Amino acid sequence: MATFDVKLRSAELQRQLAKFTGHDRASVRPYGKHLLIQMRRHDDDAVDTIARITEQARNSYSSAFRSHTGRWEPLPGTGTLAETAELVVSLLAPYFELND
């Protein structure tokens, strides 16, 4: 069960993703100590988990990308939640594009 702090960080990350992508199709799901970033596909309402953000220390986060093999590959850089969200959106921009 997600703690109150994790729920707050999840909601904040959701807001940051909407700000950086310009849409609200990306969603966040807490999973243990991770925040999973998922993208809803319009055609069938399925979701793809494309990245995760993990708190390394107080207010310091790292990120990883889910490769085609299902493994988590670390992305470069760490920072605040907002900085890490911006980095993820920047590096993984094609995965956040709307395919309507």
For 17-64, the pLDDT digits (tens) are 999 999 988 999 999 889 999 998 766 778 889 999 999 998 899 999
**Domain segments of the chain as ranges:** 4-96
Instruction: Name the residue with tokens 């990120």.
Output: 63
| Single pTM value for the model | 0.88
Cβ–Cβ < 8 Å for 40, 22: no
CB neighbour class for 35 (10 Å; exposed up to 12, middle 13-18, buried from 19): buried
**Non-local CB neighbours of 6 within 8 Å, separated by 6+ positions:** 30, 35
Architecture of domain 4-96: Beta Barrel (2.40)
Cβ–Cβ < 8 Å for 53, 88: yes
Taking the C-alpha atoms of residue 79 and residue 15, their distance in angstroms, rounded to an integer, is 17
Give the confidence band of 2 by pLDDT, cuts at 50, 70, 90: low
